[in-house]
Copies of this chain bind each other. A is one copy, B any other.
Amino acid sequence: MQKILFTNDISAAVTSLVADMCPSTVHIVTDRNVNEKVLPSLSLPYPAIVTEPGDVSKNLDTLPGIWSGLIAGGATRRSVVINIGGGVVTDMGGFAAATFKRGVRFINVPTTLLSAVDAAVGGKTGINFCGLKNEIGAFAPADAVVVSTVLFSTLPKEELLSGYAEMLKHGLLSSEKEYRELLGFDILNADLDRLLPLLEKSVMVKERIVTEDPREKGIRRALNLGHTVGHAFESLAMEHSSPVPHGYAVAWGILAEMVISHMSERFPSDELYRYASYLKEHGYGSPDISCGDYPRLLELMRHDKKNDTSDHINFTLLSSPGKPLIDRSATEQVITESLDIFRDLMG
């Protein structure tokens, strides 16, 4: 099981973790933004390997620079890598560490809400390849994750909303109580001290699921809630050259899959309205789609990595908040009707 520390003192947590690991050398992997804006305040005494920020650098061209930095810094099999950044840094730095000398230990320090709740925990590392997200990667859990909300005060609204979509998802997978508590919290005017315990609960939902099923043979697929339709929204937006934040696409995808759940699994209709209201009141916007986009959306869903074969579409659905159902499928007709209802709800 991964060691996960929830703290308001990142430097102390990292220093203590490193001391316990007795590494031969320690190396930070981060991006240029974090290196300029965050690292000075942490004053960690380790050299940093700095990548370019953004998803465009999460690819095979960036990895050699990380590996070369480790070699130049004298890294051995007993070295430790500390990935400090958002999901791009923790995914890519984790993959670089997992493959350097066939794997060295690493610590993740997520600097965004989204990476704290999603990417930094759970052992999925990877890079994009040929335009496909996380097509190349490895299952390799961080030895430790340091989760803090102290860095979130300067995050843009968009990033907070994106991360919160994943927290809502974890609430929906966990229990009605936890989900209601999240619907009652205003992430746009967040008290960061109140956010930390909510985040802790949320991260532990994922951690429990991942511990039970690290390689996504079963229950871990529950974490794909919202992602089958969400990824299709995200890819379509990319194709239309107007990309949307991943977390917004997931927030919308959750609603679309709630509608499918309503049609196939009796998910209560009042929950649809309640969830849609949260999205509308907090400025998640809505995807720019018309019914002319449905065939392409269906095609994108069919080619999702989560499908074992390309001839049916796999969903995680819900019978009610807190009650996920994995490995469900839906007919094209149900999906199409759900997209109509989804657009009405968001309209």
Contact = CB atoms under 8 A, between A and B. Distances in A.
Max chain B C-beta neighbours (<10 A), residue from A78, A99, A310 = A99
B134 A308 contact: no
Interface stretch (A122-130, A164-172, A199-207, A247-255): A122-130
Interface string A67-98: 11001001011100000000000000000001
A137 B102 contact: yes
Contacts of A334: none
A132 interface: yes
A103 interface: yes
A98 B308 contact: no
A135 B305 contact: no
B136 A100 contact: yes
A78 B136 contact: no
A64 interface: yes
Contacts of A134: 102
A132 B101 CA distance: 10
A322 to B, nearest CB: 28
Contacts of A98: 138
Contact of A24 (B71, B100, B102, B308): B308
A1 interface: no
Interface residues of A, number: 35
Q: How many copies does the complex hold?
A: 2
A307 interface: yes
A294 interface: no
A155 interface: no
A129 B126 CA distance: 19
A257 B252 CA distance: 64
Interface string A181-195: 000000000000000
Interface in A130-174: 130, 132, 134-139
Given A76-B309, A102-B124, A308-B77, A67 B130 contact: yes
A60 interface: yes
Contact of A139 (B102, B307, B309): B102
Given A76-B309, A102-B126, A138-B138, 14 more contacts: A60-B64, A67-B129, A67-B130, A67-B136, A76-B308, A76-B310, A78-B309, A98-B138, A99-B99, A99-B136, A99-B138, A101-B305, A102-B137, A103-B138
Interface of A: 24, 60, 63-64, 67-68, 71, 74, 76-78, 98-103, 124-126, 129-130, 132, 134-139, 215, 305, 307-310
